[in-house]
Chain A
Amino acid sequence: MIPSEFEYCRAGSVEEALDLLAQKGPDAKILAGGHSLLPAMKLRLNSPGAVIDISGIGELSYIKEEGSHLVIGACTTHGDIAKSTLLSEKIPMIVEAAAEIGDVQVRNKGTIGGSLAHADPAADWPASLLAGEAEIVLASSSGERTVAAVDFFQGLFTTDLGENELITEIRLPIPDAYTKSTYVKFEQPASRFAIVGCAASITRSNGSCDKVRVAFTGVSSTPFRDQAVEQALEGQAPSDDNIEAAAEKAAMSVEVMGDHFASQEYRKHLAKVYARRALQAVLS
């Protein structure tokens, strides 16, 4: 399958990419690893007039500590994130989510920024970024703005990313030392996309769950933080009964998707099961 015709533009720097975006207008698409955009273009689900290739921009590929945050460049591949000892030490759910994406070849090429821009409802990233209270940095030729992950994801393949904007960085606050996190997933066996993906991050103090963040991907058309689960466990002791009661509240506030892989009812059931597994893993 071959994409329809487009103009190919290679950007050597962020500045050049932003100029090209401003020049080419809303008909242009950014290409990073290409593992979301190219499949869509091959199926003619997307036929941009111009493609701006940022895969050669080295300055967008990094993982580093910056004050109270860990920051990830938008062109960092899933594979590089999966191997990051810095992230694994501070926010393990990020590394776990990266390692669950697709397969080794997909992780070698696909980038975190590309996946976020595409906003597939079954993508792995949104759950851990929502639970980790990530911020996404968007640049355009007129400046830069930072959006909370919770405001970034707006619906099926829909985000807050403007037509003239480029995702440049993902910022994650370094959690309190008494925080544990995980990402667990029930995957579609062929595509390895998430039928249900659940990220949990819990900070404990004096034996009780002080701060609880639980988020899902795959369950609804928009990834979401599940405040009913979070509130059921916050301030509680991490007992089996409390975990069970909190997990039972999963996916109550959203419209659950159903398809030929997993019906609405089954997905809802899986959300509870995976919420329980994530909470158990974090609190064990």
Chain B
Amino acid sequence: MGVPISVTVNGQHRESEVDSRTLLVQFIREELRLTGTHVGCDTSSCGACTIIMDGKAVKSCTVLAASANGSDITTIEGLAQNGELHPLQEGFKEEHGLQCGFCTPGMIMTAVQLLEDNPQPSEAEIRHGLEGNYCRCTGYHNIVKAIYHASRKYKEVSHG
């Protein structure tokens, strides 16, 4: 039985009818074809499926698409604006914050909320903030540097 849902994804209004058991990550990947959001562990541990839902980082493998009705969602595809990389994307590029790249979208989406809550985090705060994201290449050092890089960029922008 289809459940009607209406969501905003990366600024675009989307209406659809989903199967009751469709997971939000499936809806994002398979119906909207936004495949930047990854499925890693599928058990809400690894964080590869992290998206921003109503301003908060959420693991989309553990949310029903039906429950997302009415929500405002941002995925990795929604970060760059007018062809310009988001400061976090730029940070990951500059600091070599990715190896295989599988965990990267989730890392970045988690960091979006991290920097919104705490625009100038310490290294320890960045590490703690990433507790819900695994990098199986174990490339954590450069991921932390990438987020730190982005936080400096945020500072420059806000101090104009």
Contact residues of A with B, CB < 8 Å? 1-8, 10, 31, 34-35, 38-39, 42, 51, 53, 55-56, 79, 102-106, 108-109, 190-192
Name the one of A8, A56, A109 contacting B63, with C-beta atoms under 8 angstroms.
Answer: A109
Between A and B, 21 residue pairs with Cβ closer than 8 Å are A5-B20, A6-B21, A7-B20, A8-B20, A8-B64, A34-B62, A34-B63, A35-B44, A39-B62, A42-B42, A42-B43, A51-B64, A53-B64, A79-B56, A104-B114, A105-B44, A106-B44, A106-B59, A106-B132, A108-B56, A108-B58
CB of B62 within 8 A of CB of A109, answer yes
Instruction: Please name all residues of chain B whose beta carbon is closer than 8 Å to the beta carbon of A79 when the two chains form the complex.
Output: 56
Q: Given A42-B42, A104-B131, A192-B131, do A10 and B23 touch, yes or no (CB 8 Å)?
A: no
Q: Is B150 an interface residue (CB 8 A)?
A: no
Chain B residues with CB under 8 Å of A4's CB are 21
| Residue on B nearest A3 in the bound complex, by CB | B21
Chain A min CB distance to B104 (Å):
16
The proximity string for B residues 92-130 relative to A, scoring 1 for CB distances below 8 Å and 0 otherwise, is 000000000000000000100110000000000000010
Pairwise interchain contact B45-A104, C-beta atoms closer than 8 A = no
Q: Most B CB atoms within 10 A — which of A5, A38, A56, A192? A: A38
- Interface residue count on the B side (C-beta < 8 Å): 31
Taking CB atoms, residues of chain A closer than 8 Å to B44 are 35, 39, 102, 105-106
- Whole-angstrom distance between the alpha carbons of A156 and B13 in the complex? 44
Q: Once bound together, how far apart are the Cα atoms of A132 and B44, in whole Å? A: 29
CB distance A7 to B64 under 8 Å?
A: no
CA–CA, A39 and B58, complex, Å: 14
Q: For the complex, is B1 an interface residue (Cβ under 8 Å from A)? A: yes
In the bound complex, residues from chain A placing their C-beta under 8 Å from that of B132 are: 102-106
* Chain B neighbourhood of A35, CB < 8 A: 44, 62
Q: Do A6 and B110 contact each other (CB < 8 Å), given the known contacts A42-B43, A56-B70?
A: no
Question: How far apart are the CA atoms of A39 and B21 in the complex, in Å?
Answer: 12
Distance of A98 from chain B, by nearest CB (Å): 14
| Beyond A34-B64, A109-B62, 13 additional pairs, beta carbon < 8 A | A1-B43, A2-B23, A4-B21, A6-B20, A6-B21, A7-B1, A31-B64, A56-B67, A79-B56, A105-B44, A108-B113, A109-B63, A192-B131
CA distance A106 to B45 in the complex (A): 9
Cβ < 8 Å to A, chain B residues 119-160: 129, 131-133
Name the A residues within 8 Å of B8 (CB-CB).
none
Give the nearest-CB partner of A53 in chain B: B67
B131 close to A53 (CB less than 8 A): no
> Which chain B residue lies CB-closest to A2?
B21
Of the listed residues A7, A42, A108, the one surrounded by the most CB atoms of chain B closer than 10 A to its CB is A108
Q: Is B50 an interface residue (CB 8 A)?
A: yes
CB-nearest residue of chain B to A6: B20
